[in-house]
Structure 1
Amino acid sequence: MYGRSGNFFGFQGVRLQVAVAVVAGADFLLFGYDQGVTGSLLTLDSFRRYFPSIDTLADGISSSERSTRSTNQGIAVASYNLGSFIGAVACIWLGNALGRRKTIFLGTAVMIVGAILQASSHQLSQFIVGRIVTGFGNGLNTSTVPTWQSECSRSHRRGQLVMIEGALITGGVMLAYWIDFGFYFLDPSEISWRFPLAFQIVFCLFILSFVMSMPESPRWLVYHGKEDEAMHVLGALSDVDPDSQYVREEFHAIKDTVLEASKGSFRDLFTMDENRHFHRTVLAYMNQVFQQISGINLITYYIPNVLQNEVGLSPFLAKLIAACNGTEYFLASWIAVFTIEKVGRRKLMLFGAAGSSSSGIAETVFLFAFNTFFAIGWLGMTWLYPAEIVPLKIRAPANALSTTANWIFNFMVVMITPVAFENIGYRTYIIFAVINAAIFPIVYYFYPETAYRSLEEMDSIFVKCKSVFTVVRIAKEEPRRYGKKGEVLISYDETDMSHRRQSSVTATSAHKQEKDEERKEVV
């Protein structure tokens, strides 16, 4: 299905890639908004009146009752992440069947249902169900959007465009904090929390209006035999004629990989042949784990609560500082957008881990410092790197699987945070500081650089890799097919991967011819 007039609203080349990034970015803006909107609502009088079983601020309750309510609060807030986990698991099977755009459309429609359930809640059970439903749709989306974005981007711009998605997550968080702050003054009116929860529908309607008019992933199209449409999309994304030599080379590179992908199954995620699928799946999975166990969502989900309950600020000041923190978080995230291609993935991840470990043991001031380091090094990285590190043969299920790591560990952190603060107080920060310090050497020794690499080039790198300890070195030494401006440095026909696949095809044809001759002799 092409866009209007068969040309995606007339966009070509960079403009079309930016259009895809805008739609993809709207989804991540929605994702960030959902993460940030609930924390400030927990302390509102009108919200606490409707949901007293998660009200930890009530006077006259015993310590055991407060502990129980902290657990209930963790369940209510983290149920969104549990729904996202289920959605990500479902995407393992739905992703390749529906395609990138249809999966995003479905996930967004589901999120509207969840938003309506949350905003109209009169009982905690309905609120939790609404959060699970919203999370399910978000799980479908966040498992798909990075893959769609990566597969519709040229190698020299892919990192920057996907990192814009990460920046827009913080844009959503910032917007949620400021809307919560503005509607705080309407408390104890119910609109003070019902409107912020319902506002996410605005983002959903934008995505639903445009996503199906954007190009489908050319790799998915080739995978499903829609070769003419794939050529059309490749030409449009590069702003060249679909019959040009450039498009033909890209098409053949993709098709060769797709021929391998057509032989795959979910079980291939766990194989360790020359393509090292399990190795690459683990890298993608742990990349998502590291983002979550850094402790970022302690801040994102609970900063107004932490500032009010743990630091002792007034409700007004806690919400104002939270909104300012969200703004600084958003501004810091743009540093990665302009450095991701120049600096590379590895250095940013190392920078983020080092900075987060050194600033994780303080409170109000260092919450800003933590957000800055995280925004630069890790915020958008886990939506980019897993999509780059795995091959097309397992890309959809591997990215869905890695996203389940994001959500299950997100669920864990959000679930235990109220309980941790209730029982060990400031020591909660120390735990996350130690974890971030441990992430640094793991990234240094095991995570190869993917900047300026086509998705097919990474296949060649891992084929040459014989150990988990050598992939970083091989990635440094392997010649690049594309320059920093996207220019072709090495023709695909001249690469080892092309020769290997041609040899495979020749061997297969020779084997088939031999079998045919044997049958003729028998006859």
Structure 2
Amino acid sequence: MGKDTFELGGQQWPKVTWWKMKGMRFVYLTLWAAMITSATNGYDGSLMNGLEAMDSWNESYNHPTGSTLGLLAASMSIGSMLSIPVVPYVADIMGRRAGVVIGCVIMLFGVAMVSIGYKIALFVVGRIILGFGLGIAQECSPLLVTELVHPQHRAIYSTIYNSLWYVGSLIGACVALGTNHIHGSAWSWRVPCLLQGIPSICQLIFIWTVPESPRWLISKGRLEQAKKVLAYVHAQGDEDDALVNVEFEEIQQTIQLEKQFEGNSWAEFWSTPGNRHRSIILISIGFFSQWSGNGIVSYFLPQVLKLIGITNSNTVLTINLILSAVNVVSATGICFWVDYFGRRKLFLTSSISMLLCYVAMTIALARFSIESNDASARTVLVFIFIYYIAYNIGFSGMLVSYSSEILPYRLRAKGLTIMFFCVDLSLWFNQYVNPIALQDIEWKYYIVYCVFLVFEIFVVWKYYIETKEIPLEEIVKMFDGDRAILGGAAATDKANQLIADNAGNVGGDSEKAITTQVELHS
């Protein structure tokens, strides 16, 4: 493939410059209204680290430790898991934008409860409600981004989405460091909690500037509106543009064929070899995103730093701030290289590098427990930073983008739900178990993650396939081969055969056959 072209429908198309195209420029500049959902999630991770380091918060909640601290942190993941039964139906029935709105409204109720008082029960219930709303919004937002942007830009924008987790984390770290200087007042921890609602308020106002997913519109039979969206975003409003027509035909025919000949029930995920392969990736990437060792530092940095003798709250908050800044740069920077290096190479590089970092940290922590020297402490600190750069190479941005693109439209919302359920389940385990393990067995807990990372490398090598520069609808061929359902100019033999068979139906099915044929080629 040439550097100045991309492939779609079996043809080569010239690459575009987004800021020179009016509709694309406007949508891309307002797309942040969908993408900051990830930042809201990241703010929470940094918020919990900040609260744990604040004397005022610890005094308000009677210095929680062990299982109590784990429950306070894990309650948000519990809320996200409770949203699982409704999330895919909200996304598929009400639409991607409506899902973001519903999630934001619920999150605002949670923010209010968390910020009200000193009761642990109220804090926990508020975070459960917050997690429930986030569970809805965090699935609908990446679906909207992935299904709306130009084929040339899918990898960058869908990968940037989850990388914005660190932007929220950086803001949370800055806020916590600043409000920690409000001495003798509960506002030092209330203010960071209240500010968690600002992204949701912004989304409620500005999400309406972002068009609805053309794929969702097509699935609801709103073909004229879907084509207008595609033309506006991808071709400056020209509905006769050749690329728009190829895209529209491929999306429309594929969705129509999926509706008629494929199911979208939960059982589909283990009904065929291709879907079982997808399920292995979705489940594993969900757990790997949190069980690669990042869960210790993301939510319990003060406990980790205590292992190497760092307990001053301002020092802890400063390290948290610097780490967040490094993560923003490394996570967003790699997004622009996803299509250059490819997904599989980045996942493998990330997993292997994380293992090496964890081995180094484990050795340094073991030595510090014996000698308590500054060299071992500095080694742990350095490798915490290197580890996160390694993690960001693969699992920061591509967690959502890779999970979205390997799924056909009919299964995309449910598939992301499976992935996010595994994320929430692993988060719940981490947030509840990690503080207990760090308190009881200290540095030896790191050995568990060293072993798990070896398993992770094997799974990535065995099952993660390359989707580099493959159009969204056409990725099905990588999993389903000759069985893939794909319409348009790049239609598979199976799809063409289904169309031909349908057109040849007679008798009681003739009217249905004619109707479908007209829909497929309209």
One fold, TM greater than 0.5? yes
In the alignment, residue 272 of structure 1 is paired with which amino acid? S
In the alignment, residue 413 of structure 1 is paired with which amino acid? N
Deviates more, 1:13-22 or 1:185-194: 13-22
**1:287 maps to what in 2?**
285
| 1:462 CA displacement | 2.1
**How far apart are the structure 2 equivalents of 1:74 and 1:516?**
61
**2:500 maps to what in 1?**
506
CA contact (8 A) 1:284 1:385 kept: no
1:38 aligns with 2:53: no
1:373 aligns with 2:390: yes
CA distance 1:404–1:89, shift in 2 (3 Å): farther
**1:253 maps to what in 2?**
250
1:169 aligns with 2:165: yes
CA distance 1:88–1:18, shift in 2 (3 Å): farther
User: 1:387-443 deviations in whole A, cap 9, x for unaligned?
Assistant: 000111211111112111111111111111110111110112221122223212221
CA contact (8 A) 2:113 2:122 kept: yes
**How far apart are the structure 2 equivalents of 1:292 and 1:349?**
14
Match of 1:119 among 115, 119, 122: 115
**How far apart are the structure 2 equivalents of 1:110 and 1:458?**
35
User: 1:1-23 deviations in whole A, cap 9, x for unaligned?
Assistant: xxxxxxxxx98453145235312
Structure 1 residues 275-314: aligned runs within 5 Å: 276-308=274-306, 311-314=309-312
1:140 aligns with 2:136: yes
CA contact (8 A) 1:294 1:356 kept: yes
CA contact (8 A) 2:96 2:141 kept: yes
CA distance 1:357–1:36, shift in 2 (3 Å): same
**2:15 maps to what in 1?**
none
User: 1:425-480 deviations in whole A, cap 9, x for unaligned?
Assistant: 011222112222321222122111112111211112222179xxxx9xxxxxxxxx
1:243 aligns with 2:240: yes
CA distance 1:174–1:449, shift in 2 (3 Å): same
**How far apart are the structure 1 equivalents of 2:43 and 2:218?**
35
**1:423 maps to what in 2?**
440
| 1:237 CA displacement | 1.6
**How far apart are the structure 2 equivalents of 1:309 and 1:40?**
17
Match of 1:495 among 490, 493, 515: 490
**2:338 maps to what in 1?**
340
| 1:333 CA displacement | 1.1
1:269 aligns with 2:279: no
In the alignment, residue 463 of structure 1 is paired with which amino acid? D
**Counterpart secondary structure, 2:31:** helix
User: 1:263-292 deviations in whole A, cap 9, x for unaligned?
Assistant: 423234334347x22321332222122111
| 1:209 CA displacement | 0.7
In the alignment, residue 247 of structure 2 is paired with which amino acid? E
In the alignment, residue 495 of structure 2 is paired with which amino acid? R
Match of 1:458 among 469, 475, 479: 475
TM-score by length of 1: 0.85
**2:204 maps to what in 1?**
208
CA distance 1:155–1:427, shift in 2 (3 Å): farther
CA contact (8 A) 2:270 2:279 kept: no
CA contact (8 A) 2:81 2:425 kept: yes
**Counterpart secondary structure, 1:511:** coil
**Counterpart secondary structure, 1:360:** helix
User: 1:148-196 deviations in whole A, cap 9, x for unaligned?
Assistant: 1111122321111122223311111111112111111113311110000
In the alignment, residue 149 of structure 1 is paired with which amino acid? V
CA contact (8 A) 2:163 2:397 kept: yes
CA contact (8 A) 1:156 1:451 kept: no
**1:521 maps to what in 2?**
none
C-alpha RMSD of matched pairs (Å): 2.3
CA contact (8 A) 2:257 2:495 kept: no
**How far apart are the structure 1 equivalents of 2:134 and 2:253?**
32
TM-score by length of 2: 0.85
CA contact (8 A) 1:360 1:433 kept: yes
**How far apart are the structure 2 equivalents of 1:170 and 1:267?**
32
CA contact (8 A) 2:330 2:392 kept: yes
**How far apart are the structure 2 equivalents of 1:504 and 1:465?**
13
**How far apart are the structure 2 equivalents of 1:516 and 1:136?**
47
**Counterpart secondary structure, 1:216:** coil
CA distance 1:226–1:34, shift in 2 (3 Å): same
Deviates more, 1:222-231 or 1:84-93: 84-93
**How far apart are the structure 1 equivalents of 2:192 and 2:181?**
13
**How far apart are the structure 1 equivalents of 2:503 and 2:40?**
50
**How far apart are the structure 1 equivalents of 2:102 and 2:21?**
25
User: 1:466-514 deviations in whole A, cap 9, x for unaligned?
Assistant: 9xxxx9xxxxxxxxx9xxxxxxxxxx755342x5323212212322358
**1:386 maps to what in 2?**
403
| Gap runs ≥5 in structure 2 | 1-19, 362-379, 512-522
| Gap runs ≥5 in structure 1 | 1-9, 57-68, 472-480, 482-491, 518-523
CA distance 1:171–1:151, shift in 2 (3 Å): same
**1:520 maps to what in 2?**
none
Aligned length: 469
**How far apart are the structure 1 equivalents of 2:75 and 2:466?**
35
